[in-house]
Amino acid sequence: MQRYFVKDQANENRFLIGSEDRHHILKVMRMHIGDQIICVDQQGKMAVCEIAKITDEQVVADVVQWKEDHSELPISITIASGLPKGDKLEWIIQKGTELGAHKFLPYSAARSVVKWDDKKAAKKIERWQKIAKEAAEQSHRAILPEVINPVSFKNLLAESKNFHYKLAAYEEESRSGETSIFASTLQKMKSGESLLLVFGPEGGLTEEEVRLLKENEFALCGLGPRILRTETAPLYALGAISYHFELMR
């Protein structure tokens, strides 16, 4: 059943669906009055709904049954990616959303080839958020992940103070055979706690960035014996987190 994240509600038993989602319902899915969809409100509550009315501005859907869903990871994961080249960040956001990430925090790293252009920021953020929304709907998420406007490395360090746990993936740790920090951190975490995972861009983190991360209470971790690309490492980590908290238990 098609799922939509909906901002507007007439009341607790009626959703108002506009803009692109209205277009998707009518033109892509070719739905009609009486067809059923799943609506998710801003608190993550979801309901089976029946299309009751279609106007030029919106689709009105009435709640048939509220549903209990347990599709979210028990911990909150934020992926901080050093701005990579091309469409790699779009890939990270799409697949990371499917794998359960709660937030994406791009940052300008010393080795980021891409330089953030504030003039084009609004369109970029809008596109990234749309990718996250579509991936969340496809994967039946209860929470719509947030994509943060890219920040400087300094601001990333400031943001890190808001998390329970902080890890930075560092390829030198993988080369030296470090295998315990990532796993031991997950073992310590409790439901409801937050984890910030930092990944470098192509070329990795510089020694100065590593020094500053350690000064700000980040633990450096390896992700297995192989060196992973900047777009692969976050997905590896999320897959391991899902296994630890969802499949292993």
Judgement on whether residues 53 and 89 belong to the same structural domain of the protein: no
Q: pTM value?
A: 0.90
Domain edge (last residue) among 16, 38, 67: 67
- List the domain range (segments joined by +) for residue 101: 76-247
Q: Which parts of the chain sit beneath pLDDT 50?
A: none
Judgement on whether residues 239 and 208 belong to the same structural domain of the protein: yes
Domain edge (last residue) among 18, 35, 67: 67
Judgement on whether residues 124 and 236 belong to the same structural domain of the protein: yes
Judgement on whether residues 142 and 241 belong to the same structural domain of the protein: yes
- In the block, tokens 């794998």 appear at 99
End-to-end Cα separation, the chain, in angstroms: 28
- What's the rounded Cα separation, in Å, for the pair 10 and 16? 7
How many Cβ atoms are within 10 Å of 14's Cβ, its own excluded?
16
Q: CB under 8 Å, gap of 24 or more: what pairs does 64-72 form?
A: 64/36, 67/38, 69/140, 69/142, 71/139, 71/140, 71/141, 71/142, 72/44, 72/100, 72/141, 72/142, 72/143
- In the block, tokens 């998710």 appear at 40
pLDDT tens digits along 15-24: 999 989 999 9
Number of structural domains (the chain) is 2
Judgement on whether residues 90 and 196 belong to the same structural domain of the protein: yes
Q: How many residues does the chain have?
A: 249
Judgement on whether residues 242 and 184 belong to the same structural domain of the protein: yes
